[in-house]
């Protein structure tokens, strides 16, 4: 069944697992893209043309999604580390809810800061 089986989740935990995988892949993809982007900046003109495209109102939605991916992947990662230490299995629903709230809060705050910075 392979990769598709990640998405046959039965509970919020399976959903979190699927998200963790997707966000991981997105972050990896972004990282590669980001490195390519940086290494290709050979001149000042090129830098300015590229930043004018990517640092813009239209692009902010992607940045915001990137923050979501990053925050979720991180927070959920910490949640899994906690459980992998053998701690808190009985409270796993609470832990999941709390981490989801933290991730969403982090995303909103991050997006807000980003938006304000760009707004100036």
Partner 1 sequence: MKFVIRRFKDDKSFWQSFEVPVKKGMTLLDGLFYIRENIDPSLAFRASCRMGICGSCAVKVNGRPRLACETQLSKFKKEIKIEPLDNFRVIRDLVTEFEGFFAKHKKVKPYLIANTDYENPIEQLQTPEELKKYYIFTLCIKCGSCLSVCPSSATLESSLGPAALVSAYRFNADSRDRGKEERLKIVSESFGVWRCHSAMECSEVCPKQIEPAKAIQLLRRETLR
- For partner 1, the binding residues (CB under 8 A) are 1-3, 5-6, 8-11, 13-14, 16-17, 80, 83-86, 89-90, 92
41 to 35, 45, 48, 53, 60: CA distances (angstroms): 10, 9, 10, 14, 21
Q: Measured from the CB atom, is 10 or 44 closer to partner 1?
A: 10
Minimum Å distance from CB 23 to partner 1? 14
Minimum Å distance from CB 55 to partner 1? 36
Q: Measured from the CB atom, is 66 or 72 closer to partner 1?
A: 72
Minimum Å distance from CB 97 to partner 1? 14
Q: Measured from the CB atom, is 11 or 40 closer to partner 1?
A: 11
Q: State how far the Cα of 61 lies from the Cα of 82, in Å rounded to an integer.
A: 32
Reference 27, options 79, 65, 76; nearest CA is: 65
Minimum Å distance from CB 8 to partner 1? 7
Do the Cβ atoms of 25 and 19 come closer than 8 Å? no
Reference 117, options 29, 55, 45; nearest CA is: 55
Q: Measured from the CB atom, is 61 or 81 closer to partner 1?
A: 81
Do the Cβ atoms of 64 and 111 come closer than 8 Å? yes
């Amino acid at each position: 069944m392979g990769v598709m089986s990640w998405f046959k989740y039965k509970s919020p935990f399976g959903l979190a697992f699927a998200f963790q995988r997707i966000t991981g892949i997105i972050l990896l993809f972004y990282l590669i893209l980001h490195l390519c982007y940086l290494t290709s900046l050979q001149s000042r003109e090129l830098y300015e043309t590229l930043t004018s495209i990517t640092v813009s109102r239209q692009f902010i939605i992607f940045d915001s999604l990137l923050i979501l991916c990053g925050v979720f992947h991180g927070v959920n990662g910490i949640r899994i580390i906690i459980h992998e230490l053998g701690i808190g299995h009985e409270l796993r629903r609470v832990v999941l809810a709390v981490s989801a709230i933290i991730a969403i809060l982090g995303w909103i705050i991050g997006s807000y800061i980003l938006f304000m910075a760009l707004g100036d």
